[in-house]
Structure 1
Amino acid sequence: MKGNKNMASMGSSGFLIIPWLLLAESAALFSAGVSSGKSTPAVFVFGDSILDTGNNNYLPTLSKCNFPPYGRNFPGGKPTGRFTDGKVISDLIAGDLGIKDLLPPYLDPNLGAQDLSTGVAFASAFLVTQASESIVELYKLGARKIGVFSTLVSGCVPEGRTVGGGEERKCAENFNELAKIYNGKLSFEMDYLNKQLPGVKMVFVDLFSPLLGIIKDPETYGFAVTKEGCCGTGYIEAAVLCNQLSPFTCANTSEYIFWDSVHPTEKANRILVSKVRDYINELL
């Protein structure tokens, strides 16, 4: 494996994303090649499959998606381990910041020193209950500007509707209520840490509300299908259940908010990133 993948090296990096957490370091800590106070030299991602750019390819897990039809709208139509048809949120944020178009997975054995200096994705399964402790550790490594992503509207993703939405496949409001409780506690914890950690700046980034807004008013954003994912029946298919043999996979991904039963399409991801751009700009 090329390069030195030591976590301590993040002390000189610029931007970190953790599962529903976005951490941006002061540009002053990474002065080489930085031309202005608001430049962001690197992006690092920690999270789950919503953010992952392919780490599960290198892990002993059945939760993989490095096979068609995943990635069919990715450059070259290549399945990369991203749980969508194209790019994920972490790719799009890195691109918006002008760092790189695609964020490579940290576990890729072909990564070089340049990849590590401009950012990689560590995203895979990560317990949100460890978020506070992890933020403190990253703070010790130099993170100072911290944004916290909320969880998504879990009761309205296709899988949530299948499990708890009844025959009409309504949003499972009990799941949404749990998500709201979680988001409230996470926001409260971030407020606490904001007061406890000297020199830190934290912003809570709400993804729940904008995604719910897209689901409630799909036509405004050019979507036609809200209750099912594109892959297979769209009810339960994700990871290995979404594959080349899955029947009924849609022909036009752009009509769908969700690619599979859990993960948004690249089109939906782009809209979400556009809606949280102001939060990100606050950190820079």
Structure 2
Amino acid sequence: MSRNDALAVVKWTPMSMCMCTDKKMAEGLGIKELLPAYLDPNLQSPDLPTGVCFASGSSGYDPLTPTITGTLSLFKQLELFKEYIVKLTGIVGEERARAIIANSLFLVSAGNNDILISYSLIARKLHYDFPSYAALLVSMASTFLRCDLTLKDLYSLGARHIGVFSTAAVGCSPFDRNRGGLLRECLELELEEAAWFNSELSSELDYSELSQNRCFSDS
């Protein structure tokens, strides 16, 4: 297996700025200058073995979030990944495709828009206090990542090296600071909510079966 095969990166994130991280990650691993979007109409077959991006800006763990923002849900991205596997297998063969996927790095980044949009601005806040909503998000994240028998999750499709990013400083984004009055101050409540969610997600990953299979958090 070539070095590029072993270090293939599949980026999986609904963050709108994912391509900046993609470029640094792909370049840092010596794979290629830019990780292309899977849905890019100019995507070429040689791009598939060395990784693609399934990102959909403003999506999230909560299925309500992509419904509000009109973006692709994580499970729709998962369907695209299944399609990717079929295409990759057609290019390199089944055995090599399995090896590429098993040795790829999968990066998952979600939660920002769930907290900012679905909870803080939309109806979720009417039905949940934040600890309850954070628990719901953690459960959704675990369902997406974990190994089970439904074949609807990332692990069961062959991913073995999964990195999960914590949420950013929700409450200090330009959008939030524009809501912070004339001084454009950070919104302390949303900062606290993001910190709460990050702590709960990190604990779930640390103590789940995923931690035995190289699933890790940056928290």
The bucket for the TM-score relative to the shorter chain is: 0.5 to 0.7
Deviation at 1:144, TM superposition (A): 2.2
- Between the two proteins, the alignment pairs up a number of residues equal to 135
Kindly indicate whether the alpha-carbon contact (under 8 Å) linking 1:147 and 1:202 is maintained by their aligned counterparts in 2.
yes
**1:116 and 2:131 correspond:** no
The alignment status of 1:192 with 2:204, answered yes or no, reads no
Runs of 4+ in 1 over 3 A off after TM superposition: 49-53
Aligned partners of 1:144 and 1:52: how far apart in 2? 21
Deviation by residue 1:43-93 (Cα, 9 ceiling, x = unmatched): 11222234444xxxxxxxxxxxxxxxxxxxxxxxxxxxxxxxxxx112211
Task: Give the secondary-structure state (helix, strand or coil) at the position aligned to 1:179.
Answer: helix
Normalised TM-score (structure 1): 0.43
Offset of 1:162 from its aligned partner? Answer: 1.1
2:64 paired with 1:132? no
Q: Which residue number in structure 2 is paired with residue 46 of structure 1?
A: 12
1:160 equivalenced with 2:176 (yes/no): yes
Indicate the percent of aligned positions where both proteins have the same amino acid. Answer: 41
CA RMSD of aligned residues (A): 2.2
Once residues 154 and 115 of structure 1 are traced to their aligned partners in structure 2, the CA distance between those partners, rounded to angstroms, is 34
Q: Who is 1:34 aligned against?
A: 3
Name the CA distance, whole Å, in 2 between partners of 1:198 and 1:150: 16
- Judge conservation of contact 2:205–2:211 (CA < 8 Å) in 1: no
Matched position secondary structure for 1:156: coil
1:201 aligns with 2:133: no
User: Which structure is higher in helix share?
Assistant: 2
- Report deviation, 1:141: 2.2
Whole-angstrom distance in 2 between the partners of 1:49 and 1:189: 21
Q: Aligned partners of 1:150 and 1:113: how far apart in 2?
A: 32
Q: Counterparts of 1:180 and 1:198 in 2: how far apart (Å)?
A: 21
Query: Counterpart of 2:158 in 1: which secondary structure?
Result: coil
TM-score using structure 2 length: 0.55
List runs of 5+ in structure 2 lacking aligned partners.
Answer: 62-110, 112-136, 147-152
Distance 2:17 2:185 in 1: 26
Separation in structure 2 between the aligned mates of residue 143 and residue 95 of structure 1, nearest angstrom:
21
Find the aligned partners of 1:199 and 1:34 in 2 and give their Cα distance.
Answer: 25
